[in-house]
Amino acid sequence: MARDYDELASALLGRYGRLDGLLHNAGLLGTLSPIEYYDVPTWCRVLHVNVTAAFALTRVLLPALKKSPDASVVFTASSVGRRGRAYWGAYAVSKFALEGLAQVLSDELEGITPVRVNTLNPGRARTAMRRQAYPAEDVAAVPPPEALTTAYIALLGPAGRGVTGGAFDAQPPAASSAAPASASPDSSARSSS
């Protein structure tokens, strides 16, 4: 509910006075299915969780982010949101939408506020969502999520200062992936300094 978002923003501002970072990492896979047969309620739920909730939360927290001298918003991306693949349906579309939301927000805020906005594709991670998408994959060959936090911390913290509008990868893209790679923050982002 919209009221819940407003209450969260009010409580956060009341307690801390500002917000230095916002990481959107919640996500729902939905089903892997051809578009022709994709379940409409599942489609709507995936888009709501992956895009609409991120938009709504960002919108209500922007005043708190603007009070910070160096705030960062990071949206968790995916290779299927940079180059679509068959059967990834609502999940891929939602990740494309997050890339677009991040680009629009970054462009709107650049030069008028210290809030920087980027996306980060963590790549392969040993999560329940990954297991759902790749049930036969050797789990031992996939890094645990905690091994991928360095890139998030870099974008959220002082190392990412001045970097906005970027689309980054925490790991090199897989050989079979056609997703573009970003080796370092300065390779695909604008400097906001």
Q: Which of 145, 143, 191 is nearest to 166 (CA)?
A: 191
Are 137 and 155 spatial neighbours (Cβ–Cβ below 8 Å)? no
- For the chain, the maximum distance between any two Cα atoms, rounded to a whole number of angstroms, is 48
Catalytic residues: 91
| Residues in CB range of 85: below 8 A, 6 or more apart | 92
**Burial letters 28-37, b for 16+ CB under 10 A, else e:** bbbbbbeeee
- Residues paired with residue 76 on neighbouring β-strands, in sequence order: 120
